[in-house]
Chains A and B, each alone.
Chain A
Amino acid sequence: NAGVTQTPKFQVLKTGQSMTLQCAQDMNHEYMSWYRQDPGMGLRLIHYSVGAGITDQGEVPNGYNVSRSTTEDFPLRLLSAAPSQTSVYFCASSYSSGGKETQYFGPGTRLLVL
């Protein structure tokens, strides 16, 4: 199993540009989520999904969109990048039942918005 994979590893954007951060998992996990990590603030939940076709907002959803058309993939879209979105983004996945909510994180995408 590859676990949780994320692409790209690093990206530089100009203000106003759009892009999609990719996330995929091969563990057949129902639950997937996106976090951003900023210095001194831990990880904050952006959006999450409890299954294909179902998404919901987390703590800091503004400026981001998500969709979940398959169990495996959970892309994060920035429609109009802003410097405040400079951060490291982590995708995570887990089972959603039976007390197996341990979340497995991907390696992260480092995003710089100029």
Chain B
Amino acid sequence: GENVEQHPSTLSVQEGDSAVIKCTYSDSASNYFPWYKQELGKGPQLIIDIRSNVGEKKDQRIAVTLNKTAKHFSLHITETQPEDSAVYFCAASSDYKLSFGAGTTVTVRA
């Protein structure tokens, strides 16, 4: 099955700085890579996703890049704000069965 590794497990950044989270996956058949944000006591919420036929996607302060050859993808958050503090999960899927990374706890310091 698919194995997704996510790094780092915790990330502390100064407000206004950038945050980068990296994930690798093992199954070359995976073709859909979503990123979820989870706030305390809530379910994961999709923030951005990318499909295997695209190398990069951007949505305001959030961007995701995908390198299918190397089997890794990354989340970039620019100009971080206190409300960006949360747990972020990457995932990979080839048939609607999502395999998740272990999560990254992001703390934005004011």
Contact = CB atoms under 8 A, between A and B. Distances in A.
A31 B43 CA distance: 17
B96 A31 contact: yes
A40 to B, nearest CB: 6
Nearest to A45: B97
B96 A43 contact: no
A94 interface: yes
A99 interface: yes
Contact of B43 (A48, A50, A107): A107
Nearest to A103: B98
Interface stretch (B11-19, B45-53, B69-77): B45-53
Interface in A91-114: 92, 94, 96, 99, 101-108
A85 B98 CA distance: 20
A40 B44 contact: no
Interface residues of A, number: 27
B62 interface: no
Interface string B79-99: 000000000010001001111
A4 B29 CA distance: 29
A90 B43 contact: yes
B102 interface: yes
Contacts of A53: none
Contacts of A44: 100
Interface string B32-68: 1010100001111110010100000000000000000
A107 B42 contact: yes
Of listed B32, B96, B100, B103, residue having the most chain A CB within 10 A: B96
Interface of B: 1, 4, 6, 9, 32, 34, 36, 41-46, 49, 51, 89, 93, 96-103
8 contacts: A33-B96, A40-B102, A42-B100, A45-B99, A92-B43, A103-B98, A105-B43, A107-B42
